Structure 1
Amino acid sequence: MLVLNKTQLEEILDAETAVNAVKEAFSLYSSRRVVQPQRQVLSVKGNWWGIMPSYTDLSLAVKIVNVIPSNKERNIPSVQGVVILMSPDTGETLAILDGLVLTAIRTSSASILSAELAMNTRTIGTLGIIGAGTEARYHLKLGLSYFKVGRVLISARRNHYLLAKEFGAEAVELEKVLREADVIFSTTSSSSPVILGKYLRDDFHISSIGAHTPESREIDDDTIRKIETYMVDSVEAVANETGDYIQPVNSGVLRKEKVIEIGEVINRGLNVKRPSLFKTVGIASEDNLTAYMAYKVALKKGIGINVE
């Protein structure tokens, strides 16, 4: 059994490798070639916890992950977790992987993939980041290594000045990000919208990874009205888990004909009509394929700790 910690995962999962892993995950999911029960969602001491199993012909994976906003006061990341990778043939445990970094890398890679599909290029004039936590940092780190980016604008309630300094970006007010960015990665834990349609330009792509409950919103209705394509990781998952889908569908603001799984876009070679949105709540197949890819690369490079 191989144990892969945060540092080792960062070494193994460069942007190209990770984007390819989630691309395969979405393709398998939408073609029903991965078995993925709906995640078990728990409220533990008022915080969101998810148990996410899935399996393919090559691997079975289970991730236990949580989002604990009060961790910011403890100076530790708000997302914590672990991934267990097993053989579907022998039942052996193949690897145990740090869930925080794996989640951050696969989520960032999903956003990057959505932007590449929507923009049909690996060049971005202005990239906007909303948030300054772990996810924001990985979106920046991987995004800047994958895309050629002209400039980066970052806005958050706090800490964005430090993040901007680290990556040579501009720390700005939210409105400036919304008005000027070609691509926006929204990485907040906010329960009320931070993507406000009244400020957005006519042509844009947004990836929104927040709003994990039916009551929460990261995107307002004005934004929903503007978009031409509403991409999702899983129709089933967003219809059960995020207010960014549930509320506008129930109110009639979002028409279902605008909604398509990103795996369908990949499998059918579709062009994404902009302005566009990618709404992701995270699905188990992403963890499975990313963990399996990390395991295979680690074995090849001799990285990780072997535990009997």
Structure 2
Amino acid sequence: MIGLSSKDLNELLKAEIAVSAVKEAFKLHYQKKILQPQRLVMTIKGNWWGLMPSSTDYSFVTKIVNVIPKNKDKGLPSVQGIVILMSPDTGEPLAIMDGTTLTAIRTAAASILSTEIVMKTRSIGNLGIIGAGTEAYYHAKLSLEYFKIQKLLVSARKSHFELAKSMGGEAVDLDTLLKNSDVIFSTTSSSTPVVLGRYLKDTFHVASIGAHTPDAREIDDETIVKIRSYLVDSLEAVSKESGDYIIPSQKGLLKNKVIKEIGEIIDKGLEVERPSIFKTVGISAEDNITAYVAYQEAIKKGIGINVSI
């Protein structure tokens, strides 16, 4: 068994490889070629914890992950996790890897994939990132590798000046970001909307990775009213877990919208109209394929340390 650190995963999972991995994951998920039971969710000391298992013909993966917002005050990532990869044939452990970094990379890759599908190009105009934590960092890092971007705008309650400077972007207030961005990645732990429709351009794409509980929202009703297409990673998951889908649905705001899983769009080569939203709560299929790809790359390149148990 090998151990893959955060540094290892950063070296192994460049943007092109990570996006390709999640694309395959979503396609296999839609084709029902990944066994993926609903994740076990627990609240521990007021924080969200999840256990996410899945299997394919060549990989069994389980991830233990949590979201602890107060970690930011301690200088720690708000998302922590560990991933275990095992052989479905022999049952032997193949790899253990940093789940925090794997989650951040595969989540950013999913947002990037949704953007490429909707924009139909890698030249995407102005990219706005809301948030300044680990997810915001990886969304910026991988986007700059993958896309041609005119201007990177970053807004958050704090720390966005540092993130913007490190990425060659511009730190701005939220209203400015919303008014000037063609694509918006919302990566917050906010329970109230930060994507406000009254400020948005006529044509936009929003990828939202926060608001993963039924009563939390990153996207307001006005944004929902404006969109033509609502893309999701898993319709079953978002309809049970995310207030950004549950509440607008209960209000009848999703009537006459095109609602599709991203895997179906990939599998069938469907066209997607903007304005659009991609809502992801994260599915274990992404972890499975991304972890397996990282393991294959590590073996090929001789990266990682041998671990005995």
Taking structure 2 as the reference length, the TM-score comes to 0.99
- Asked whether the 8 Å contact 1:249–1:256 carries over to 2, the reply is no
Q: CA RMSD in A?
A: 0.7
- Asked whether the 8 Å contact 1:106–1:287 carries over to 2, the reply is yes
- Measured against aligned partners, the alpha-carbon deviations of 1:166-208 in whole angstroms (never above 9, x if no partner) come to 1111100101111110100000000000000011111011100
1:255 to partner: Cα distance: 2.2
| Distance (Å, rounded) in 2 between the aligned partners of 1:302 and 1:256 | 51
1:287 to partner: Cα distance: 0.1
Q: Which residue of 1 aligns with 2:88?
A: 88
| Distance (Å, rounded) in 2 between the aligned partners of 1:280 and 1:169 | 25
1:260 to partner: Cα distance: 0.3
1:254 to partner: Cα distance: 1.4
Q: Which residue of 2 aligns with 1:68?
A: 68
Q: Which amino acid aligns with 1:26?
A: F
Q: Which residue of 2 aligns with 1:210?
A: 210
Q: Which residue of 2 aligns with 1:43?
A: 43
- Asked whether the 8 Å contact 2:2–2:96 carries over to 1, the reply is yes
Matched residue pairs, number?
308
Q: Which residue of 2 aligns with 1:288?
A: 288
- Asked whether the 8 Å contact 1:82–1:100 carries over to 2, the reply is yes
Asked whether 1:277 is paired with 2:277, we answer yes
Asked whether 1:165 is paired with 2:178, we answer no
Identity of aligned residues (%): 63
- Measured against aligned partners, the alpha-carbon deviations of 1:31-57 in whole angstroms (never above 9, x if no partner) come to 111010001100000000010000000
Secondary structure in structure 2 of the residue aligned to 1:247: helix
Q: Which amino acid aligns with 2:33?
A: R
Q: Which amino acid aligns with 1:273?
A: E
Secondary structure in structure 2 of the residue aligned to 1:84: strand
Q: Which amino acid aligns with 2:171?
A: A
> Structure 2: which 5+ residue stretches go unaligned?
none
Secondary structure in structure 1 of the residue aligned to 2:10: helix
- Asked whether the 8 Å contact 2:106–2:290 carries over to 1, the reply is yes
- Asked whether the 8 Å contact 1:206–1:277 carries over to 2, the reply is yes
Q: Which amino acid aligns with 2:9?
A: L
Q: Which residue of 2 aligns with 1:299?
A: 299
- Asked whether the 8 Å contact 2:34–2:285 carries over to 1, the reply is yes
Q: Which amino acid aligns with 1:171?
A: A
CA distance 1:150–1:216, change in 2 (3 Å)? same
- Asked whether the 8 Å contact 1:130–1:188 carries over to 2, the reply is yes
- Asked whether the 8 Å contact 2:70–2:78 carries over to 1, the reply is yes
Asked whether 1:262 is paired with 2:259, we answer no
1:63 to partner: Cα distance: 0.3
Q: Which amino acid aligns with 1:153?
A: L
Secondary structure in structure 2 of the residue aligned to 1:188: coil
1:257 to partner: Cα distance: 5.0
| Distance (Å, rounded) in 2 between the aligned partners of 1:217 and 1:83 | 28
Secondary structure in structure 1 of the residue aligned to 2:179: helix
CA distance 1:129–1:257, change in 2 (3 Å)? closer
| Distance (Å, rounded) in 1 between the aligned partners of 2:131 and 2:217 | 15
Taking structure 1 as the reference length, the TM-score comes to 0.99
Q: Which residue of 2 aligns with 1:19?
A: 19
Q: Would you identify which runs of 4 or more consecutive aligned residues in structure 1 move more than 3 Å?
A: none
Q: Which amino acid aligns with 1:92?
A: E
Secondary structure in structure 2 of the residue aligned to 1:158: coil
Q: Which amino acid aligns with 2:248?
A: P
